Amino acid sequence: MTTVFGIPVAVILGQLMLGLVNGSFYALLSLGLAVIFGLMGVVNFAHGAFYTLGAFAALLGLQLYGVNYWVALVLAPLAVGVLGIVVERLLLRRLYGLDPLYGLLLTFGLALVAEGSLHQVFGATGQSYPVPPSLAGGMNLGFMFLPLYRAWVIVASVVVCFGTWFVIERTRLGATLRAATENAPLLQAFGVNVPLLVAVTYGGGVALAALAGVLAAPVVLVNSQMGSSLVIVVFAVVVIGGMGSILGSIVSGLALGIIEGFTKVIYPEASNVVVFLIMALVLVLRPAGLFGKD
Amino acid sequence: MRATAILYALAVLFALCVPLLGIYPVFMMQLLCFAMFACAYNLLLGFGRMLSFGHAAFFGAAAYATGWLVSAHAWGPGLAVLAGVATAGALGLVIGSLAIRRQGIYFAMITLALAQLVYFVCLEAPFTGGENGLQGVPRGRLFGLLSLRSDLVMYYLVLAVFVAVFVFIRRVVHSPFGQVLKAIRDNESRAVSLGYEINRYKLLAFVLSASLAGLAGSLKALVFGFVTLTDVQQSTSGEAVLMTLLGGTGTFFGPVAGAAIVVTLQEYLSDLVGGWVTAIIGAVFVVCVLAFRRGIIGELAARLPLRLARPAAAQPP
CA A250 to chain centre: 10
Subunit contact A120:B276, Cβ cutoff 8 A: yes
Subunit contact A43:B108, Cβ cutoff 8 A: yes
On the question of pLDDT at B317 being above 50, the answer is no
pLDDT for B62 equals: 95
pLDDT for A293 equals: 62
**Which of A118, A276, A285 is the best residue to mutate to test the B interface, defined by the most B CB atoms within 10 Å of its own CB?**
A276
Alpha-carbon gap: B307 to the closest alpha carbon of chain A (Å): 26
Q: What is the mean pLDDT of residues A31-39?
A: 86
Q: What is the mean pLDDT of residues A208-221?
A: 92
pLDDT band for position A256 (cuts 50, 70, 90): very high
- Residues in B closer than 8 angstroms to A238, CB to CB, are 109
pLDDT band for position A52 (cuts 50, 70, 90): very high
pLDDT for A267 equals: 84
Subunit contact B101:A283, Cβ cutoff 8 A: yes
pLDDT for B234 equals: 86
How many Cβ contacts (< 8 angstroms) between chains A and B? 126
On the question of pLDDT at B11 being above 70, the answer is yes
Per-residue pLDDT tens over the stretch B41-54: 999 999 988 999 99
Subunit contact B109:A238, Cβ cutoff 8 A: yes
pLDDT for A183 equals: 85
Per-residue pLDDT tens over the stretch B52-72: 999 999 999 999 999 999 888
- Residues in A closer than 8 angstroms to B238, CB to CB, are 108, 112
Alpha helices in A66-193 (DSSP H): 69-90, 100-122, 148-170, 172-182, 184-189
pLDDT for B55 equals: 93
Asked if A119 is an interface residue toward chain B (Cβ–Cβ < 8 A), one would say: yes
- Residues in A closer than 8 angstroms to B277, CB to CB, are 116
Measure CB to CB from residue A109 to each of B121, B282, B316 and give the nearest one.
Answer: B282
pLDDT for B305 equals: 63
Measure CB to CB from residue B104 to each of A100, A117, A277 and give the nearest one.
Answer: A100
Alpha helices in B129-187 (DSSP H): 151-174, 176-186
Asked if B134 is an interface residue toward chain A (Cβ–Cβ < 8 A), one would say: no
pLDDT band for position B312 (cuts 50, 70, 90): very low
Q: What is the mean pLDDT of residues A199-211?
A: 93
Among candidates A21, A63, A174, A41, which has minimal Cα distance to A107? A41
Q: What is the mean pLDDT of residues A218-222?
A: 89
> How far from B215 is each of A73, A266, B14, B142, B279, CA to CA, in Å?
49, 38, 23, 15, 29
- Residues in A closer than 8 angstroms to B51, CB to CB, are 101, 104-105
Subunit contact A110:B282, Cβ cutoff 8 A: yes
Asked if A287 is an interface residue toward chain B (Cβ–Cβ < 8 A), one would say: yes
pLDDT for A145 equals: 77
Measure CB to CB from residue B117 to each of A101, A238, A276 and give the nearest one.
Answer: A276
Q: Say if residues A122 and A137 touch (Cβ distance below 8 Å).
A: no
On the question of pLDDT at B316 being above 60, the answer is no
Query: Is residue A230 classed as helix, strand or coil in its secondary structure?
Result: helix
pLDDT band for position B141 (cuts 50, 70, 90): confident
Number of C-alpha atoms within 13 angstroms, CB side, residue A259? 18
Asked if B283 is an interface residue toward chain A (Cβ–Cβ < 8 A), one would say: yes
- Higher-confidence residue of B310 and A277: namely A277
Q: CA A202, CA B259: separation in Å to the nearest integer?
A: 33
Q: What is the mean pLDDT of residues B265-281?
A: 83
Q: What is the mean pLDDT of residues A23-47?
A: 89
Measure CB to CB from residue A108 to each of B238, B276, B293 and give the nearest one.
Answer: B238
On the question of pLDDT at A169 being above 80, the answer is yes
pLDDT band for position B175 (cuts 50, 70, 90): very high
pLDDT for A209 equals: 95
Domain boundaries A8-285, CATH class: mainly alpha
On the question of pLDDT at B74 being above 70, the answer is yes
Alpha-carbon gap: B112 to the closest alpha carbon of chain A (Å): 7
User: For all residues of chain A together, what is the average pLDDT?
Assistant: 87
Quickly count: other Cβ atoms within 10 Å of residue B274's Cβ: 9
User: For all residues of chain B together, what is the average pLDDT?
Assistant: 86
pLDDT for A57 equals: 94
Positive or negative, the Cα torsion across A218, A224, A229, A233?
positive
- Higher-confidence residue of B230 and B208: namely B208
Whole-number percent of chain B with pLDDT over 90: 40
Q: Say if residues A51 and A227 touch (Cβ distance below 8 Å).
A: yes
pLDDT for B314 equals: 44
A27-36, B73-82, B86-95, B182-191: range with highest mean pLDDT: B86-95
pLDDT band for position A294 (cuts 50, 70, 90): low
On the question of pLDDT at A128 being above 60, the answer is yes
Whole-number percent of chain A with pLDDT over 70: 97
Which residues partner with A146 through β-bridges? A139
Subunit contact B277:A116, Cβ cutoff 8 A: yes
The DSSP call for residue A133 is G
A30-44, A242-256, A267-281, B48-62: range with highest mean pLDDT: B48-62
Q: What is the mean pLDDT of residues B133-148?
A: 76
